[in-house]
A and B are shown apart, each in its own frame.
Chain A
């Protein structure tokens, strides 16, 4: 089989690296050859961040070639636009938060602005499989808005051929002890959504 390519993107501090860790551990748990690539340091301070995860029988490059992502998981719609342009093709599944954040000083410099509706519209035209979701409230009901992105990860898990057990073990191995329960709950909400 060809390598499966998953790209996770967002802003530094949103858990992009953690999501990448869970996906790669799940794929590794199932027995795939796995490679990932991430960036640390300065870009993590509120900058645009991405993690590449590739798995299959044999993987060479830790970076996903252009226009070759099978799935893009994005925690910020502005970043969805940026990374879809470089890594998605028409058939890429894009799972994206339907909200995004740009600091006022940066947005105020732009004369013509850019609206989220505009981004969603353009993404829809260019990509067949776009899923924009907002799980902030569901996450808040669970008790922590930060697990919203783990719900998105649960959603993503349905589109891989990695079984649930491998996902659950990967989450348990990747998150701090005291947040295990809420992360598992959040993941299952996403995974069991119809």
Chain B
């Protein structure tokens, strides 16, 4: 019989984080959806072992995790990078109190901004708060480090950050994992061998958890002392490791950059930082002493570079690599060529790079290829309101969600998108500036309204602000993949919350706003008329559009199809909706205008029919 069989699974980084948290016996897991972090909680919910739920926003999510920890339970909070800004208030002081049950915070950064409004480097939060940080570089490490992070959290009495990036969260790789740590609905036994699961009775400890100045001053000193012990761990635990190869070339790296380095420069010695704050000063000193020429390869900010420079060692990093965007294998290669680590022609793919200059016909053609911007879906209930707003030419303070796409051509009907829940505050401020003769509109989705729109609407009412607040209620958090929120009546953990479903209109009424319009966004004429009326009134008023998202929770096809009639004059109004089902038929009128064509992806929302003032769009009767 074999002593041990190796079990593996092919998992994304996010799935591996969830499996690691399950292995560690996490009991409460919370978060707010945000790319690239959104898949962790749904995967964890499949284990049936913990309370796993979406929270109204990141601050509340972390506060729930803190409460669970005070109650001796292991808890986890997941967020995208900007979400940690929202939760930073409890986070910064949690760093002082420390924990009872371990707290692990997953922050998923988005270098290159695939689906984000900025590309802040959240590694700085670990230094800012004096909190230790893991940086996994593949799914296997996501699994291992999450389990270990809970141990570190409890042994050092501190919250722990696991810093992910899009290429770790959304890459799959092979994980060494026992089947018992994979979700299987029939096999959800609890990990009874974990001692911390023993029920403990709550007792209070105000010196630890009441951060009034008198106690906070003591705890701050403890947090600083803690850093020294964490640095010992960083040096000695073996989690940060040196892979010696050539003693001429050395690279210090972390996260996905490690993989690019191994791919491009397998000959180099590598100091891989997996526990990258506090940095392992002794290991770094040893590495730099033994290896002749050492550089730093890291994505985004010079975080490691600054830390190393603060222990008196100056190495090159951001002098060679970009401080913005993602790294790629090719960029690492180019950097290593510039650093003199590899010669231009010394490996197999460099010849291919040279051929780049020889593809001029391709390049010429590519210049003509229209940029394919993301767009609202065919039949998206957000389309009509933006089309109408564009016609009314009012300033629109926007927000974050699918509807941010209303800012892009051809709709061009949103003037700002900065942070979650910004719209109503910014609409109040813009109206106070008296710089627009027209009334201001503020627009956000239902999930964003719950996240952080409610407070600014209360502020607007209380301070007599005058603008039109539009809430696009599609009954889901669509952009991130259709997660639940307080208005959907469901959540990840089973349990009936339908009866607790929060009605947006009643919330608005509760604030004391009287002028509320609820409309169906598929009725374009009603949308236009209501907007016009609301925008001419001198009151703070609210428009709620109600229609489910066509993708989540179920795909919707109304079963109607539309066609363009003979005689269409090519005026182009229908294409100004940006609907992806309205294509170029390939036919052109005498005035060179293209004749539109509605393809089979149409789901029958009928907005284009209402918009066509010449009545050249008709439903196909079968």
A112 touches B368 (CB 8 A): yes
Chain A's interface: helix, strand, loop or mixed, by majority?
mixed
Q: How far is the CA of A35 from the CA of B262 in the complex (A)?
A: 14
B residues near A103, Cβ cutoff 8 Å:
375, 575, 578-580, 582-583
Report the tally of A-B residue pairs with Cβ distances under 8 A: 195
CB-contact partner of B170 in A25, A39, A68, under 8 A: A39
Q: Inside 8 A of B596's CB, which chain A residues have their CB? A: 104
Nearest-CB distance from B69 to chain A (Å)?
30
A36 at the interface (CB under 8 A from B): yes
A-B contact pairs, 30 of them (CB 8 A): A34-B174, A36-B172, A38-B171, A40-B481, A41-B480, A43-B114, A44-B374, A45-B377, A46-B374, A63-B167, A63-B260, A63-B329, A65-B264, A65-B329, A66-B328, A66-B353, A66-B356, A67-B352, A68-B349, A85-B359, A89-B352, A90-B355, A102-B372, A103-B579, A104-B582, A104-B597, A105-B410, A105-B575, A108-B584, A114-B370
Choose among A41, A78, A106 the residue with the greatest number of B CB atoms under 10 Å from its CB.
A41
Contacts of B359 in A (CB 8 A): 85, 126
Q: Is B178 an interface residue (CB 8 A)?
A: no
Say yes or no: is A119 at the interface (Cβ < 8 Å to chain B). yes
Chain A proximity mask over B172-216: 1 for CB below 8 Å, otherwise 0: 111000000000000000000000000000000000000000000
The reply to whether B575 and A60 form a contact with Cβ atoms under 8 Å apart is no
- Bitwise interface map of A from 83 to 120 toward B, beta carbon under 8 Å scored 1, else 0: 01100011000000000011111111110111000110
A65 and B349 contact, CB distance less than 8 A: yes
Complex formed: what's the CA distance from A102 to B404 in Å?
A: 21
- Minimal beta-carbon separation of B374 from chain A (angstroms): 4
- Residue among B174, B361, B373, B376 making CB contact with A125, cutoff 8 Å: B361
Instruction: Please give, as numbers and ranges, the residues of chain A lying within 8 Å of B377 by CB-CB distance.
Output: 13, 45-46
Which residue of A is nearest B358, CB measured? A126
- Residue in A36, A65, A89, A123 whose beta carbon sits within 8 Å of that of B333 in the complex: A65
Residues of B within 8 A of A64 (CB): 329
- Among B145-177, those with CB < 8 Å from A are 166-167, 170-174
Taking A45-B405, A62-B256 as given, write out 12 further A-B residue pairs in contact, using a Cβ cutoff of 8 Å, ordered by the A residue number.
A40-B114, A42-B402, A42-B405, A43-B374, A46-B376, A62-B173, A63-B167, A65-B329, A85-B359, A85-B362, A102-B370, A106-B371
Chain A residues close to B by CB (< 8 Å): 11-13, 24-25, 28, 33-48, 59-68, 78-79, 81-82, 84-85, 89-90, 101-110, 112-114, 118-119, 122-123, 125-126, 145
Cβ B170 vs Cβ A37 within 8 A = yes
Cβ of B369 < 8 Å from any Cβ of A?
Answer: yes
Contact status B362-A35, CB under 8 Å? no
B263 touches A (CB below 8 Å) = yes
Contacts of A63 in B (CB 8 A): 167, 260, 328-329
Choose from B114, B171, B583 the contact partner of A36 (Cβ within 8 Å).
Answer: B171
Complex: how many Å from CA A103 to CA B36? 27
- Which residues from B are CB-within-8-Å of A84? 362
Number of residues from B at the complex interface, CB < 8 A: 69
B554 near A: Cβ within 8 Å?
Answer: no
Please state if A104 and B352 are interface contacts (CB–CB under 8 Å): no
Chain B interface residues toward A at CB < 8 A:
10, 35-36, 38-39, 114-115, 138, 166-167, 170-174, 256, 259-260, 262-264, 328-330, 333, 349, 352-353, 355-356, 359, 361-363, 365-366, 368-377, 402, 404-405, 409-410, 479-481, 572, 575-576, 578-580, 582-584, 593-594, 596-597, 599-600
Contact B370 A107 (CB under 8 A): yes
Query: Which residues of B have CB within 8 Å of A28?
Result: 10, 174
